Amino acid sequence: MKNISFPLFSTKVSGVTKRFNLEDPVSRREYFDLKARADIEKIKEYLEAGNTFVAFLLGKKNSGKGTYAKLFMEAVGREHVAHLSVGDVVRNTHKELSDEAKRAELLEFLQKRYRGFISVEKIFDVIEGRDTKTLLPTEVILALVEREIDRLDRKAIFVDGFPRNLDQISYSLFFRSLIGYREDPDFFVFIDVPEAVIDERMKHRVVCPVCQTPRNTRVLCTKEVGYDATKQEFYLICDDPKCGGARMVAKEGDSLGIEAIRDRVQLDEQIMETLSTLQGVSKIYLRNSIPVAGAATTIDEYEITPGYRFELEGSSPAHGVKIIQEPWVVNDDSGTPSNSLLPAPVVLSLLKQMVEVLGL
């Protein structure tokens, strides 16, 4: 982001030399406990006392917003915190409309709580896809979100996917009042991810055709890798034994990488830059990458996203495939060679900055 400053953040703890496997939940809990125990306890005490917050996650598409929210909940506990994806709320509503009882319940809710310029019947047509020309108004989205929050029984929430366009920014200024959180702190969480990271994540992602588990040939490898001599290419083999060694495949269109979502990315940047100048709302800044030149003094090596490449063990595919792991280096948006960080150290930064924002 050219017009937003994302300061460097150090994760190093003096005297600590232990390496953690940040892909393993048990090891990750130990990592958070060692590096952010005091901060986690302060946040837990705040939440257990009945306090909440509304945090808006703001980042480019595929920047990992949901992942960061879920790891935050893993660190402090899920009892008092929820991740609310606006996109998921709308998609789940679409599914509910096929159930007559849930459809009737939603109709009753909207008749009581919705205020807008299109009828409830038309809202259903838009959600179900019968009306493809009318966009779902923000007033409807807010009503659906309010309904979801009612179900959460007053938890602190991470809002993912709102505001989604420039017109919704004005609504976001009063979001906590609209949903009944009148005195709760609200703040923005800006997430900076280099376009090169998003591009690589998209271009190299694959999925198991049996269990639909996603992986990435560049940065999220499976235990076994095969080689197709005909196509002269390596491929990942699903780790789940129930899938019988299924070959993971790319999704159609992913080869275009970030260019397939260029318009969305540019709009996300506009929204972030506009909200970064807003006065009266606290802000947290998370960065996914760190320049290679200063990485050794600010982060531990195991916190860097590993990159993978493959070689044949011998002269024939029958000899097997050698998996080579090394720190993943990409150019950030200014062209500086950088290491992409795993989600856990980014969440570490979130925990520490949240303590400051909440005044704990």
- The verdict on residue 345 lying in a domain is yes
Domain presence at residue 248: yes
Yes or no: say if 25 and 340 are a contact pair by the CB < 8 Å rule.
no
Examine residue 250 and state whether it is found in any structural domain, yes or no. yes
Cα angle 310, 316, 319; round to 5: 70
CA distance 268 to 2: 13
pTM of the model: 0.89
pLDDT for the residue numbered 317: 65
- Please tell me the distance from the alpha carbon of residue 116 to that of residue 137, in angstroms, as a whole number: 8
In the DSSP assignment, the letter for residue 7 is: -
Q: Assess whether the previous peptide bond of 209 is cis (omega < 30° from 0).
A: no
- Tally Cβ neighbours within 10 Å of residue 185: 19
CB 210 within 8 A of CB 246: yes
Kindly give the pairing relationship between strand 54-58 and strand 156-160.
Answer: parallel
- Write out the residue range of the structural domain in which residue 45 sits: 25-80+155-357
Identify whether the C-beta of residue 326 lies closer than 8 Å to the C-beta of residue 306.
yes
308 lies in some domain: yes
Does residue 49 sit within a domain?
yes
Torsion sign over Cα 260, 255, 205, 351: negative
Task: Determine the pLDDT at residue 125.
Answer: 84
Residue 252 belongs to some domain of the structure: yes
Number of domains in the chain: 1
User: Which tokens in the block code for residue 115?
Assistant: 């205020």
For residue 187, give both structure tokens.
């703040």
Sign for the CA dihedral angle at 235, 238, 243, 249 comes to negative
Per-residue model confidence (pLDDT) at position 187: 92
The β-bridge partners of 309 are 324
| Number of neighbours of residue 237 by Cβ within 10 angstroms | 18
All residues at 6 or more sequence positions from 13 whose CB lies less than 8 Å from its CB, including other chains: 34, 35
Residue 168 half-sphere exposure toward CB, CA atoms < 13 A: 20
User: Average pLDDT by consecutive 10-residue portion of the chain (360 residues)?
Assistant: 83 87 92 95 95 92 90 94 90 88 89 85 84 78 86 88 83 73 84 93 92 91 90 92 92 86 91 89 94 91 93 76 92 93 96 95
What is the C-alpha separation between 246 and 250, in angstroms, rounded? 13
Q: Is residue 131 left, alpha or beta, with left meaning phi > 0 and alpha meaning psi from -120 to 50? A: beta
Q: Name 11's Cβ contacts closer than 8 Å, sequence gap at least 6.
A: 35, 298, 299, 300, 303, 345, 348, 349
Residue 87 in any domain: the answer is no
Q: What is the DSSP letter of 79?
A: T
Residue with tokens 């993971």: 248
**CA geometry: angle at 135 spanning 68 and 147, to 5°?**
55
Measured distance CA(72)–CA(286) in Å, rounded: 13
Query: How far is residue 342 from each of residues 30, 220, 318, measured CA to CA in Å?
Result: 16, 11, 34
Report the C-alpha gap between 318 and 247 in whole angstroms: 17
**CATH number of the domain encompassing residue 347:** 3.40.50
Residues 333, 339, 340, 344, CA torsion sign: negative
Residue 2: inside a domain: no
Q: Which of 146, 61, 67 is nearest to 346 (CA)?
A: 67
